[in-house]
Structure 1
């Protein structure tokens, strides 16, 4: 079946983005239906700013392939808040793989990539294709070449990878999942087996994934003014604000009150 051209998309601001300063633009391009089970979207960032700006992202549990200047790299899951300081003019193009689905293209256990960046392996990715992506003048052309390169290997299926992908999506869309024990019945696995598969295919444990999604929800609610710190903490199942504040700070980098103060100062 012939590949369809990727489609431009203009979704709402991703809850993973904690701050997007002036002079920085970002967008997404959706893959074809055939590729969408493996790739969530292609993405791009462009900046043109005289003053140094800081972009902060609370990453989803996904591995990315990133193309910038003349380099192509694999970026593992970033467990802490990702901070990038931008100055001058530049752009980045990336591929966001669905959770666990990078395993379709690279057999390296995912935990060996977590919090690390590696050059894209030329034995897996054709150097000519990498060159086309790096040198294409538009983001839609970059996405087209990436789509063509990924289409055939994406047809291979790994049942374990698909199972972990679907479990992560279940956590993402079901706020009532608050503990690993909540997930084991859905997974049909023992907790030990679940931990092992998450380590090998995703790169982080299920507890980390659950907490990351729930705290992303918390930061979004607070940023939109959809509740107080106390009500958001209670909604997420925290029995006391102190525990919530510790978890929030460990992930976002700021206590909830300071997070709100920083948002208020920017308005």
Structure 2
């Protein structure tokens, strides 16, 4: 189990611009919650003009609290996002979020996680009653309130959910995993069981998870510099360069070359 939150920017399009526009940081939850929660994320902003941020979602559920200056705090549960997520920030505000580990929300939700995929629902419809403000105070105070919320929710340990979490983590870190049937054989399970496990506990199929993590790697490589896209396509398991370009464009909204140019241009990166 990690003792520090992830430092990568995987999934965040143009992370340099994000950090110039807002205060963004990650914090770990209380130790007892770490089997379920990847990290908390905190964002504060004071903008003179609207700012659009684009994110290629991870296979993870998020609980998000957002408070715009002068308005009420809103809490939502965001299921795994299938498409590019865009948020427009303006004025002054704060957000406090919980990114669950893939499979980590099932012990709280106790229902098939696929029921939330692609949806955002008020937290009051999904979780326990919410007390207090989760966007107010210092970072430590905000994180303690998130700890208290999840502890009160009372996750029920689920060995199958833990299995799903471990399988997704393996896909995330092992870039040689490219095919569902090969992955199923590696773990001596049927492809059908793997499909059911992922849909019920992660919210998306194992093929979707593999493709999403490999695509996020391609996005990271686009930000590094000149890229041999035919080589990247082969390394990440795409049929050819055209297949990678189509999927990249469909998910990120721009082609790999256009994204790389946007980072290299004035104010990019």
TM-score, structure 2 normalization? 0.88
Q: Which one of 29, 33, 36 corresponds to residue 27 of structure 2?
A: 29
The equivalent of 2:57 in structure 1 is: 59
1:67-78 equivalences in 2 (<5 Å): 67-69=65-67, 70-78=73-81
Deviation at 1:10, TM superposition (A): 7.2
Deviation at 1:13, TM superposition (A): 4.3
1:168 matches 2:168:
yes
1:111 matches 2:109:
no
Deviation at 1:11, TM superposition (A): 5.1
1:126 matches 2:129:
yes
1:262 matches 2:265:
no
Q: Which one of 3, 14, 20 corresponds to residue 9 of structure 2?
A: 14
2: distance between equivalents of 1:61 and 1:85? 22
The equivalent of 1:4 in structure 2 is: none
Give deviations 1:68-109, integer Å, cap 9, x for gaps: 122111011111111111121111100111111111111232
1:91 matches 2:91:
no
Q: 1:45 touches 1:91 (CA, 8 Å); kept in 2?
A: yes
2: distance between equivalents of 1:194 and 1:67? 33
Deviation at 1:122, TM superposition (A): 6.4
Deviation at 1:51, TM superposition (A): 1.6
The equivalent of 2:216 in structure 1 is: 216
Change (3 A) 1:166 1:23: same
The equivalent of 2:138 in structure 1 is: 138
* Root mean square deviation, CA, Å: 2.1
The answer to which structure has the higher strand fraction is 1
2: distance between equivalents of 1:122 and 1:240? 44
Q: 2:77 touches 2:120 (CA, 8 Å); kept in 1?
A: yes
The equivalent of 2:104 in structure 1 is: 101
Q: 1:74 touches 1:117 (CA, 8 Å); kept in 2?
A: yes
1: distance between equivalents of 2:96 and 2:29? 14
Structure 1: runs of 5+ lacking an equivalent? 1-6
Residue 105 of structure 1 aligns to a residue whose secondary structure is helix
Query: How many residue pairs end up in the alignment?
Result: 257
Deviation at 1:153, TM superposition (A): 5.6
The equivalent of 1:183 in structure 2 is: 183
Q: 2:63 touches 2:78 (CA, 8 Å); kept in 1?
A: yes
Q: 1:93 touches 1:139 (CA, 8 Å); kept in 2?
A: no
